[in-house]
Amino acid sequence: MARVCTTPKILPKILFFSFLLSSFPCLISANRELDEENWKEILKGEWMVEFYAPWCPACNALAPAWKELSTRANQKTLTVRTAAVDVTKSPGLSGRFVVTALPTIYHVKEGEFRQYKGPRDAEAMLSYVEQQRWKQSDPIPGWKAPDSFQMTVVAEFFKLSQALRSVHTMLMETYGLPTWGSYLIFAVATIFVGAILGLILVCVIDLLYPPRRSDKVTITRSELEELAKGDQRRPDDEQALLNEDIVDDAETANSDAEKNSGSDSSDEEKEKPEEGADAKTEGKDEKTNEVRKRRPRKAD
């Protein structure tokens, strides 16, 4: 009975100590491994972040100095913390921070990002934080900040490129395809995906901006025959209208000629009546010819 009663009392202590021992390495480790899930932790507080790759010789040479920086920052109880990003495991973060060379170090202070370009020893990096030398350089602009929308899109493209690279490696190593065979598959897949996206885009445009439907007018056979007869009679009507225009223009010209001749050359008509009459006749004939040469108007 005594053993049965003491077992429930010992069990919570064992669980507590096991939990403490399991979390103890995290407490003594000052370096934080970042990935796609927890990288936003560095947006609060002050951090020194290193981007590295296991195959990079310069990253391996920096490892002792980075470890010393983490230890000394923890011993001095500074507010700065250290973190590291493996670009082979988190390619999206390398695109988000525009990492073009390894190793790359960033200083982060309350969401402001500055790239550290000083010496790569622990003493220089520690004085960069203690003496606040990071204030001498401007932070990365907002549109290029890792937490902006633009860089989020860039990070997704980096993830896609990494996924395509892994598929390319799998096709060559697992299935034994040659390099040109893998490229051919990617080319066909690109054309197919582009055709599908184009079809979807056309459907969306048709839904947003539907085409206008023209109203069609139906004409019976009898109406069509009447229109044909009207077209046959149309030349006579046009000729009648043209004759009326010519007569009207001729009468107007005669009246104008009579007025002008009566007002301007009254003295000359008295002296030479025959010459004035001939001039009037010639003027009338010229104006009549001009009216007849005019282009006929079409009937409305």
- The one catalytic residue among 5, 26, 56, 203: 56
Strand order in the sheet with 112-116: 31-34, 80-86, 46-52, 104-109, 112-116
The DSSP line for 127-184 is: HHHHTTGGGGSPPPPGGGSTTSHHHHHHHHHHHHHHHHHHHHHHHHHTS---HHHHHH
* Catalytic residue check, 26: no
Extract the tokens encoding 280.
């009037």
Helix (H) or strand (E) holding 282: helix 273-293
* Rg of the chain taking only CA atoms, in angstroms: 48
* Catalytic residue check, 59: yes
- The one catalytic residue among 5, 26, 59, 203: 59
Query: What is the Cα–Cα distance from 217 to 232, expressed in whole angstroms?
Result: 23
Active site residues: 56, 59
